[in-house]
Amino acid sequence: MTKIQIGSKLVYQVRQPTIFLLKIAAASTQHQVLSDESLTFDPQIDVEQCQVGLEGNRLHRLVVQPCQLSIAYQATAELTPEIERPRDVGESEAAQMPPEVLTYMNPSRYCESDLLARFAFEEFGQLDPGFGRVQAICDWVNRHLEYSPGSTTATTTASDVLLQRTGVCRDYAHLAITLCRGIGIPARYVSGYAVDLQPPDYHGFMEAFLDGHWYLFDPTRLASTLGLVRIGVGRDAADVAFSTLTGTAAMLEKNVWATSLGSQLPSSQDPAVSTA
Amino acid sequence: MTKIQIGSKLVYQVRQPTIFLLKIAAASTQHQVLSDESLTFDPQIDVEQCQVGLEGNRLHRLVVQPCQLSIAYQATAELTPEIERPRDVGESEAAQMPPEVLTYMNPSRYCESDLLARFAFEEFGQLDPGFGRVQAICDWVNRHLEYSPGSTTATTTASDVLLQRTGVCRDYAHLAITLCRGIGIPARYVSGYAVDLQPPDYHGFMEAFLDGHWYLFDPTRLASTLGLVRIGVGRDAADVAFSTLTGTAAMLEKNVWATSLGSQLPSSQDPAVSTA
Amino acid sequence: MTKIQIGSKLVYQVRQPTIFLLKIAAASTQHQVLSDESLTFDPQIDVEQCQVGLEGNRLHRLVVQPCQLSIAYQATAELTPEIERPRDVGESEAAQMPPEVLTYMNPSRYCESDLLARFAFEEFGQLDPGFGRVQAICDWVNRHLEYSPGSTTATTTASDVLLQRTGVCRDYAHLAITLCRGIGIPARYVSGYAVDLQPPDYHGFMEAFLDGHWYLFDPTRLASTLGLVRIGVGRDAADVAFSTLTGTAAMLEKNVWATSLGSQLPSSQDPAVSTA
Amino acid sequence: MTKIQIGSKLVYQVRQPTIFLLKIAAASTQHQVLSDESLTFDPQIDVEQCQVGLEGNRLHRLVVQPCQLSIAYQATAELTPEIERPRDVGESEAAQMPPEVLTYMNPSRYCESDLLARFAFEEFGQLDPGFGRVQAICDWVNRHLEYSPGSTTATTTASDVLLQRTGVCRDYAHLAITLCRGIGIPARYVSGYAVDLQPPDYHGFMEAFLDGHWYLFDPTRLASTLGLVRIGVGRDAADVAFSTLTGTAAMLEKNVWATSLGSQLPSSQDPAVSTA
């Protein structure tokens, strides 16, 4: 069990009445239990909490009149992941996969697995099936991309990244997801908090469906998979943007943190970690 | 009430053990009641029916050994749509939209509404909100595209179509969906059967969320919205491909039909039709 | 006759031996006579002047060892453009065009006229041929794009711009060139200096081939076509980048200026101006 | 010396007055001497021969009234290539390259070397400079692409091909050209006839500038570089389309042939062949 304190503070200058859709609150799941959670707004504003998408991501919706708005979120997350030895985790057979994961084989906005299937098969089709194959994909992505903030935009896709070979966490995740889908492994995007991420920010990583469970991978290698706190999951970043605004508001400040409360995170040596 | 007889026959030469995911069976909904339904395979094969995606689309999954496989589907659908006068149908306010429709505001694989939002706002942002605005989008799409089988492929997106200005039903639907999302109207792709479609085939059309309901639109104008029988819905065609194969099989034959059993379909004069 | 003083100063921190290809010196043509020209380097460096491409653009090539390098260019340009009344300038017939302009009908890296031909025909195919039609294209580009520094990159193409509807001078020119080629009018990119451009910088504009001459257009409307001093021409910006470096150097400073020496530039009222 | 008989016959149904720009006649160069050349039209039509582009490609222009038009071209080409041992051919230094080849370092419509430079450097930047490095690029292209007629269109680019990994001769050439430019080697597209090409057609291949000369490469490996007869060269296929039509005409027939008149072509063992 790992205990992680997470939080973020956002400040906006709201210039017109603006609808905020926020996806910054951590998920409550069997393997991720939240305590001491608070989400506060200054000035105070009525907020609606709802669940959206196939996986019931938490969404906070609020309508804000012109003002300077501070949003403060914090919680403590207790993680109790399932941990396996990588070599024990095989791939699920397509004929047996639970129907609800099939959606995560489809191409999506930033993960054009239809375009990259042949590439994926050529590079990774001959590897032994299983956890190690997804690791090989993540290694390939990590080795071939250069982490370069500002080199991509909100509309950059996996194909773009494969060609230009630079990006940030969301781009790494998109490319790895796309390559997984390309060889028939369901894969999805996860947004969240990551312990001791440098520079501190919301993080984007991924899950692949193997042997009946969703396993976590971070192709950037910037964080231990044992220190990832889930906000939401989706087909790609389009589904879990931390904020979507309709109106006019400028972000003045963004602070994100995640700290392990207990002892140091066990050095991972890349175990197979599942929290979903 | 309209009664429509639908069906399709597919013949494949299966060369290796192949997994078929079929989305050809009509949906059962409050407004679409099926009777005399049959789905048969020759040779006989065990088939699993399941539900996938946010909307529970029906999916038939089967594993087929090498053979010549015939798939025959037929049913009678009774449609009892809600019909409104277009002028009575306004737009839903983003602040009030049911959470489950928010997903259909996100960009998707073939509907890059993030890329085309500015275009959409410029062309349609000043029009009066409501059913008529979606109609204006569909009219624009219909007027600016040339229906041209073979001019697009399975990976063609709304952006491609907007530039090249040719396409088939799925391209028309993708572009109209994208432009709706671009101005903040949730929109989604619907696959189905269409009465007297020429040339006969599965059809692709769309729904926009207005005034609390999903309204049907066919930007190709090749079919009356009163003669559309729903198979499934999704963000775009990626979610409702009529067949997805893993293995090796060649399609030898495809026959699709849809006939109105009663009197002729009422000439539409573009009523606002909702069946979801 | 207009007399324009132009110049630019560039400062680079050169970190490794680096080859510089500079295209910053104005062209000498029948309609553009240079005087008091100087190009100096501090520290002093051997520089080779050569001519490249179909139109013999001036290029300065130098190999620079690690240092802080200052490049200073200045000249006085006397412009004696041919000026016509727009209504007197028709289009050239494709069957009669001089062979050397046919190249400027082909699609190029940033001007995908093959992709946008149908769009161009639909929007501009019915207009009366002649100078006014190119003006209509430039007006359309000006009206539909928002001038927004930073919204595009060095790899942005006319298609991208048509979709996203923002850009800077090079993007405006690329889109207008592409639309001209799309309806069969040869068009090319011109880099240069522009009198009183705000903010001051090198400028990118275009020429269309009409009635046997190349006529100048600036779709950004940021400068009078009577105050444009030509550096070079090409199919698009790929051919006339003001500097191309092989090695490692960081630009520390860029200053560009162009001032009319005589009286104010005649208010243009959009005459047809040809200097090539 | 190799003597090659080449020819092509094209038949068009011309439905409206149509301008034809033909690039089907072989080039006359120091290393390629033509004899017994004829270009005939049935019905007879006035034809203008001109030279276009940087390299003076031969172009035949004709205006055709509605009719069924037959175009017959034939010639005998004597090739006297320079042949070197690959290991003797190094790369030219950028600082010393003749100015006229610098143009072939720029990205072009179908060869987006700006997008793929990082990819090219990563894959090929560490190899020993010289002929062998271009060979390695061609090998890579040959190994990673599947030759698949119909898998690409007239607007497919090198980036598209790199992702989808299928194509025809022009796509192979575009990708190899792009990768060469990406690591700083000037490269260009060559259209021509190829001895015993199967299936018979016009062919597209490439030249890279090494050690002061343009060397021939055919990344498809469908033809010996000793049996290539040059029509024209350009930045990419946009410059050397065998026919460009303005008007309306349908191609009814296309026949292309190239036969070695002497003994069999020497088995190549990949010599370094230069004819330009």
Q: Do A163 and D166 touch (CB under 8 A)?
A: no
The token duo for C13 is 């921190």
Residues of chain B positioned with their CB less than 8 A from the CB of C122 = 144, 165
Name every residue whose Cβ is closer than 8 Å to that of residue D171 and which is 6 or more positions away in sequence.
D145, D152, D156, D158, D161
**Three-state secondary structure string covering chain C:** CEEEEEEEEEEEEECCCEEEEECCCCCCECCEEEEEEEEEEECCCCCEEEEECCCCEEEEEEEECCEEEEEEEEEEEEECCEEECHHHCCCCCCCCCCHHHHHHHCCECCECHHHHHHHHHHHHCCCCCCHHHHHHHHHHHHHHCEECCCCCCCCCCHHHHHHHCEECHHHHHHHHHHHHHHCCCCEEEEEEEECCCCCCCCEEEEEEEECCEEEEECCCCCCCHHHEEEEEEECCHHHCCCEEEECCEEEEEEEEEEEECCCCCCCCCCCEEECC
For residue A60, the domain's CATH number is: 2.60.40.2250
pTM of the predicted structure, to 2 decimals: 0.90
Checking if the pLDDT of D247 tops 60, the result is yes
Check whether D271 has a pLDDT greater than 90: no
Tokens 């580009």 locate to: C141
Give the residue from C48, C100, C108, C239 with the most D CB atoms within 10 Å of its CB, the best one to mutate: C108
Alpha helices in A58-199 (DSSP H): 99-102, 113-124, 131-144, 158-164, 169-182
Please tell me whether the interface predicted TM-score (ipTM) of this complex is above 0.90.
yes
Question: Is residue B275 included in any domain, yes or no?
Answer: no
pLDDT of residue C53: 87
For residue C276, what pLDDT is reported?
A: 85
Residues of C in contact with D99 (CB under 8 A): 50-52, 59, 61
The pLDDT mean for chain A works out to: 94
CB contact burial B172-202 (16+ within 10 A = b; e otherwise):
bbbbbbbbbbbbbbbbbbbbbbbbebeeebb
The answer, yes or no, to whether residue C106 has pLDDT greater than 90, is yes
pLDDT at site D43: 97
Same domain, B187 and B247: no
On chain D, the residues whose CB falls within 8 A of the CB of C91 are: none
The size of chain B, in residues, is: 276
Q: The dihedral of CA A110, A111, A116, A119: what is its sign?
A: positive
Q: Specify the amino acid at residue D175.
A: L
Question: Is residue C268 pLDDT above 70, yes or no?
Answer: no
Q: How far is CA D141 from the centre of its chain?
A: 16
Report the pLDDT value the prediction gives residue A267, as an integer from 0 to 100: 60
User: Does residue C122 belong to the interface with chain B, where contact is any CB pair within 8 Å?
Assistant: yes
State the Cα angle at A2 between A8 and A214, rounded to 5°.
85
Q: A155, B115: Cβ pair inside 8 Å?
A: yes
Q: Nearest chain C residue to D99 by CA: give it.
A: C52
Q: What is the reported pLDDT for B52?
A: 92
* Position B209 in a domain: yes
Task: Give the chain C residue whose CA is nearest to the CA of D56.
Answer: C100
**Structure tokens that stand for A122 in this block:** 């050529």
- Give the residue-averaged pLDDT of D112-123: 95
Question: Residue B259 pLDDT more than 60?
Answer: yes
Confidence (pLDDT) at A262: 78
Among D19, D50, D94, select the one facing C99 at the smallest CB separation: D50
CB pairs under 8 A between A and D: 26
Q: What is the mean pLDDT of residues D173-184?
A: 98
| Sequence-ordered list of residues with C-beta below 8 angstroms from that of A67, at least 6 positions apart, any chain | A14, A43
Per-residue pLDDT of D57-92, as tens digits, reads: 999 999 999 999 999 999 999 999 999 999 999 999
Q: Which pLDDT does position B263 carry in this prediction? A: 67
**Please, which residues bridge with residue D50 across strands?**
D59
Could you identify the residue written with the tokens 């040596």?
Answer: A269
In the predicted model, what is the mean pLDDT of residues D217-244? 96
Are residues B233 and B252 located together in one domain of the fold?
no
Please tell me the total count of domains within chain C.
Answer: 1
C-beta separation of B189 from B237 below 8 A: yes
Write out the H or E segment, with its range, that includes residue D79: strand D67-79
Whether the CB of B103 is below 8 Å from some CB of chain A: the reply is yes
- Rg of chain A over Cα atoms, rounded to whole angstroms, equals 19
Q: Are A44 and B45 in contact (CB under 8 A)?
A: no
pLDDT of the residue at D191: 98
| A136 and A53 in a common domain | no
Please count the other Cβ atoms lying within 10 Å of the Cβ belonging to residue D68.
12
> Residues D31-55: what's their mean pLDDT?
95
Question: Letter for the amino acid at C165?
Answer: R
On the CB side of D64, CA atoms within 13 Å amount to: 31
CB contact at 8 A, C68 and C13? yes
**How would residue D129 be classed by pLDDT, with cut points 50, 70 and 90?**
very high
Residue B53 above 90 pLDDT?
A: no
- Span A205-209, average pLDDT: 98
Query: Using CB atoms, which residue from A116, A144, A165 is nearest to D163?
Result: A116
> Do residues C112 and D109 lie in contact, with contact meaning Cβ atoms separated by under 8 Å?
yes
| Whether the Cβ atoms of residue C132 and residue C153 lie closer than 8 Å to each other | no
What three-state secondary structure class fits D100? helix
At D262, the pLDDT band (50, 70, 90 cuts) reads: confident
For chain A, say whether B21 makes contact (Cβ under 8 Å): yes
Q: Is residue A273 part of a domain?
A: no
Query: Residue B179 pLDDT > 90, yes or no?
Result: yes
Q: How far is CA A80 from CA A203, B49, D173, in A?
A: 20, 34, 54
| Claim to verify: residue D149 and residue D183 sit in the same structural domain | yes
Residue A272 domain flag? no
Query: What is the pLDDT at residue D270?
Result: 74
Residue A36's domain comprises 2-80+243-260
Chains with 3 or more CB pairs under 8 A to chain D: A, C
Provide the shortest C-alpha distance from residue B164 to chain C (in Å).
Answer: 6
- The partner residue sitting opposite C119, judged by closest CB among B116, B119, B165, is B165
Check whether residue A213 and residue A248 sit in a common domain: no
Task: Work out the pLDDT band at D269, boundaries 50, 70, 90.
Answer: low
Each residue of A68-116: pLDDT tens digit?
999 999 999 999 999 999 999 999 988 899 999 999 999 999 999 999 9
Rg (CA), chain D: 19
Condensed to tens digits (0 to 9), the pLDDT of residues B80-132 reads 999 999 999 999 988 899 999 999 999 999 999 999 999 999 999 999 999 99
Which residue in B112, B154, B239 is closest to A106 by CB distance? B239
CATH number for D103: 3.10.620.30
Is the domain of B122 the same as that of B14? no
Phi, psi (degrees; rounded to nearest 5) at D223: -145, 150
Question: Do the domain assignments include residue C34?
Answer: no
d(CA A207, CA A201): 19
Reported as a pLDDT band with limits 50, 70 and 90, residue C266 is low
Round the average pLDDT of chain C to a whole number and report it.
Answer: 94
In a domain, C197, yes or no: no
In B, which residues are within 8 Å of C162 by CB distance? 163
In three-state secondary structure terms, A271 is coil
Q: What is the pLDDT of residues A28-56, one digit of tens each?
A: 999 999 999 999 999 999 999 999 988 89
Helix, strand, or coil (residue B122): helix
Residue B68 vs residues B14, B250, B252, C86, D198: alpha-carbon distances, Å: 6, 10, 9, 69, 33
Chain A hits for D119, CB-CB cut-off 8 Å, are 163, 165
Q: How confident is the model at residue C1 (pLDDT cuts 50, 70, 90)?
A: confident
Residues of chain B with pLDDT > 70: what percent?
98
Interface contact flag, C122 B144, Cβ < 8 Å: yes
Using alpha carbons, select from D146, D166, D141 the residue that is nearest to residue D156.
D166
pLDDT at D268: 56
Per-residue confidence at B1, pLDDT binned at 50, 70, 90? Answer: confident
Q: What residue type is assigned to position D201 of the chain?
A: D
> B116 and C159 in contact by Cβ < 8 A?
no
Same domain, B71 and B93: no
SS3 (DSSP) at A160: helix
Collect contacts of D37-44 with beta carbons under 8 A, ≥24 apart.
D37/D74, D37/D75, D37/D76, D38/D72, D38/D73, D38/D74, D38/D75, D39/D71, D39/D72, D39/D73, D40/D71, D40/D72, D40/D73, D41/D69, D41/D70, D41/D71, D41/D72, D42/D69, D42/D70, D42/D72, D43/D67, D43/D69
Q: Is residue A274 part of a domain?
A: no
Q: Per the structure block, which two tokens stand in for D178?
A: 């792009």
DSSP single-letter state for residue B110: T
Q: Are A116 and A178 in contact (CB under 8 A)?
A: yes
CB contact under 8 Å between D118 and A162, yes or no, is no
Q: What pLDDT digit, counting tens, does each position of B191-227 carry? A: 999 999 999 999 999 999 999 999 999 999 999 999 9
Mean pLDDT of A134-157: 95
Domain match, D73 and D169 both: no
When pLDDT is averaged across residues D99-113 and rounded to a whole number, the result is 96
Q: B177 and B100 in one domain? A: yes
Interface check C87 vs B, CB under 8 A: no
Domain shared by D36 and D96, yes or no: no
Regarding whether B174 and B157 lie in a shared domain, the answer is yes
**Distance between CA atoms of C276 and C208, rounded to whole angstroms?**
11
Contacts with D75 (C-beta within 8 Å, 6 or more apart), sequence order: D5, D6, D7, D25, D26, D34, D35, D36, D37, D38
The distance of D109 to chain C (nearest Cα, Å) reads 4
Question: Residue A128: inside a domain, yes or no?
Answer: yes
Going through chain A in order, the beta strands assigned E by DSSP cover 2-14, 18-22, 32-42, 48-52, 57-64, 67-79, 82-84, 146-147, 166-167, 187-194, 203-210, 213-217, 228-234, 243-246, 249-260, 272-274
Cα distance between residue C1 and residue A123, in whole Å: 64
Please write the tens of the pLDDT for every residue from C174-209: 999 999 999 999 999 999 999 999 999 999 999 999
Same domain for D249 and D130? no
Chain A CB within 8 Å of residue D119 CB: yes
